[in-house]
A and B are shown apart, each in its own frame.
Chain A
Amino acid sequence: MQTLLQLILTGLQIGSVYMLFSLGLTLIFGVMKIVNFAHGQFFTLSAMLVAVLVPWLLMQGLPLSAAFGLAVLGGIAASVVLGMLLYQFAFRFFQRDLAGSFILSVGLVLLFEGAFLHYFGGAVRSVPPIIDGTVSIFGTAVTLQRLILCLVAFGFTFALYWVLTRTRLGKAMRAVAIDHEAAMLQGIPYKRIAFHAFAMATFLGAVAGAIMAPISTVTPTVGADYLVKGFIAVIIGGLGSVPGAIVGSLFIAFIESFGGYYVDPSSANMAIFVLVMLILLLRPKGLMGNG
């Protein structure tokens, strides 16, 4: 029983980062109908800046919590600014152009991976633990750090859900996602909505990177690993579907957790890819997708 609980908690922890990452991907696709492979670079930039700034701020004499807080703010801000620049000077010219946005985003991935490698170096970085200690949940040990970061991830997910269901902006985004022409006929400013959607997606990717940094290792290519898992989650859940992204993320996280324990991590990884192939064959629109 304890093992089962441990695996479920592990799955939730891993899934929380995948969730935030894939929500950004699905939001961009839903509103702009483009696939953004460069989403992983916002994640990477945020994580790298946290990994670089925390030790530097600690050397300046700041306490750890303040250093982490400032580093997170810095990382997220830098990623969002990067995202806005990319939208303004690149992506807004390729809205609803799947092929064009694909080529553009792949090019951006190569550009930014090279830039990160050049400026940050290739070595692995890690962030010191922000909070020490473990808590016991039904007899299962969970580190406080992971628990808090998991709660933060779920918090942002619920916040996004609230924005999409309770605010004018969110409703406008959903309207655009359903039928952008009909939405425009209703007076919804499509370009402004697309801009906000891109900003929110970038923000979510940056938050995912920032909360991942203290519990994992950070490299300039870390975004590529999460990008693959994020896309798989979105495909399983359904492109453009927010609940689908959540379900898909938790699904693959549980496969990683249970598969890694009962078989081995390599086989668990393979199982994820087999699953996405089956989904594409049997239900191409995903578990909760609409089109």
Chain B
Amino acid sequence: MIRMGTKTSTAFFVACVMSLGTQAASADEVIKLGLSVPLSGAGANWGIGSQWLCEEAAREIKAGGGVKVGGKTYNYQCVAYDNKYNAAEGTKVAQTLLRRDNVKFIGGSLGTAPVRALQSLTEREGVLLFNVAWGASIKGPDYPLTFTQMNTPNEILFPLIKFVKSANPAMQTVALLNPNDATGQDTEKIARKAWESVGVKVLSSDWYERGTTEFQPIATKLAGVKPDAVDLGAAPPSDAGSVFRELKAAGWKGVQVVEVGTGAEGLVATGRGAVDKTYMGAAVTFDGPNVTARQKELNAGVQKATGESMNAVQIGFYDSVMALKAAMEKAQSIEPKAVAKVLPEITFPSVFGTAGFGGQKTYGSPQQILIPVIVTQMNGDKLVEVQRIESEELKQRLGR
């Protein structure tokens, strides 16, 4: 009798456990979104803010009922590793995400060099890759699973530089300085064309290694060529602030541009008063009358996480999660290739409003997010929006 009782209770116990398992299977499933971002060094705030925004988007989607595909509900989990903004660490992160963590979707990746390392694996293994890398060379028909979720040099530089020239018509010459990596090299090529297109001569183009903390020699050289303007291209804000500080100490005065300038705080922290009137191409302001409550909420969250305002680099990590949800629900699939196929067809709610993917004419394939280009300028230590240029392609698609 006892044995019968034991058998019965054991069977009952097993049945309970199995039913729990069944319930677990029918509860929300989790899709991991890998993130390859710098979490240390000059780009750390970009990475930390990006991670927070990915997690916030995932929370928002979960609170809204999750992603509905094939009768199941999925939620996202953001998994971030530090790529230190270089190819070597980017490769390690790529191996970790794809081999150890088996992620099928890269929710965001930052830095052309680490993105290239990641892309060499993701395209081969059928993993969808979102990135905010500035290299034009990572997009195209050869990379069907790669999508860029922020404006890049092709979108930003021409309108930014055209605006700067129109605001400073006396400007005739410029000196360029870029980090000596894939991001800087890709940015420099387009910057040259953009400056020359508005009749400004490029006097010099120099490079520095990421991780440099001593900028006096390079600032001496830049000041020595006596340019009307200095364009710091893809330099992160903290590096840019240091360069402008050294330029001021060297006695140089002129027009200051940081194409990938993403916010005031990093610039002011290292540049102090030397960064007044600096133009930036990837910063966003959140204190105008058209700012939505959700934008302010997100900005507040990023400020708490990083001490700096939200910027275009980080916003891409929120937008990619929203785009992924919309594409998965349209495709009714969680297979990366099926999702990638519908991404150019969908529109989705981005931080900037409704957005989509396009750029077929520029890149040969619609892999570029379509969002406004925002030109900002430092006014003292405050950032001010001076121009906003909407995407023509998106306006046509939305019938505006």
**A residues whose Cβ falls under 8 Å from a Cβ of B:** 3, 6-7, 10, 13-14, 117, 121-126, 128-129, 134, 141, 143, 146, 212, 216-222, 225, 256-257, 259-261, 264-266, 268-269
Contact = CB atoms under 8 A, between A and B. Distances in A.
A3 B216 CA distance: 13
B238 interface: yes
B214 interface: yes
A126 B212 CA distance: 14
Contacts of B251: 141
Interface in B274-325: 306-307
Contacts of A217: 42, 213, 238-239, 242, 270
B44 A265 contact: no
Interface stretch (B65-73, B165-173, B218-226, B385-393): B218-226
B14 interface: no
22 contacts: A10-B217, A13-B216, A117-B40, A122-B41, A122-B44, A122-B48, A123-B48, A124-B42, A124-B266, A124-B270, A126-B238, A126-B241, A126-B269, A141-B250, A212-B213, A216-B242, A217-B213, A219-B44, A260-B217, A261-B217, A261-B220, A266-B208
Interface in B53-109: 82
B119 interface: no
A159 B1 CA distance: 91
B270 A221 contact: no
A122 B213 contact: no
Given A123-B307, A124-B42, A221-B40, A266 B220 contact: no
Nearest to B250: A141
A129 B272 contact: yes
B206 interface: yes
A266 B209 contact: yes
Given A217-B239, A260-B220, 16 more contacts: A7-B220, A117-B40, A122-B40, A122-B48, A129-B272, A216-B214, A217-B238, A219-B40, A219-B42, A221-B211, A225-B211, A259-B217, A264-B206, A264-B208, A266-B207, A268-B217
Contacts of A123: 44-45, 48, 306-307
Given A124-B238, A126-B269, A219 B249 contact: no
Given A129-B272, A217-B270, A265-B207, A124 B220 contact: no
Contacts of A261: 217, 220-221, 224
Given A10-B217, A217-B238, A266 B180 contact: yes
Interface size classification for chain B: 35 or more
Nearest to A11: B217
Nearest to B268: A126
The 4 A-B residue pairs with the shortest CB-CB distance, nearest first, are A260-B217, A122-B44, A122-B40, A124-B238
Contact of A3 (B207, B224, B238): B224
A170 to B, nearest CB: 31
A146 B215 CA distance: 13
Given A7-B220, A266-B208, A221 B249 contact: no
Contacts of B241: 126
Contacts of B250: 6, 141
Nearest to A269: B209
B39 interface: yes
B233 interface: no
B38 interface: yes
Nearest to A145: B249
Interface string B28-48: 000000000011111011011
Contacts of B216: 10, 13-14, 146, 257
B115 to A, nearest CB: 19
B397 to A, nearest CB: 38
Contacts of A265: 206-209, 212, 217-218
Nearest to A113: B40
Contacts of A129: 272
Given A117-B40, A219-B41, A221-B40, A256 B213 contact: no
A10 B220 contact: yes
A260 B246 CA distance: 14
Most buried by B among A124, A221, A265: A124
A122 B212 contact: no
A122 B38 contact: yes
Nearest to A267: B207
Contacts of A220: 40
A212 B213 CA distance: 10
A129 B274 CA distance: 12
A134 B239 CA distance: 22
Contacts of B47: 122
A6 B209 CA distance: 22
A121 B266 CA distance: 15
A122 B39 contact: yes
Nearest to B179: A266
A6 B218 CA distance: 12
A222 B238 CA distance: 14
B206 to A, nearest CB: 5
A56 B216 CA distance: 28
Most buried by A among B41, B212, B217, B250: B217
A3 B220 CA distance: 9
Nearest to A265: B208
A126 B217 contact: no
Interface in B247-266: 249-251, 266
Contacts of A13: 216
Contacts of B307: 123
B41 A257 contact: no
Nearest to B217: A260
Contacts of A141: 249-251
B83 to A, nearest CB: 12
Interface in B189-245: 206-209, 211-214, 216-218, 220-221, 224, 238-239, 241-242
Contacts of B220: 3, 6-7, 10, 257, 260-261
A10 B251 CA distance: 15
A171 B212 CA distance: 38
B227 to A, nearest CB: 15
A265 B219 CA distance: 10
Nearest to A142: B249
A112 B127 CA distance: 35
Contacts of B40: 117, 122, 219-221
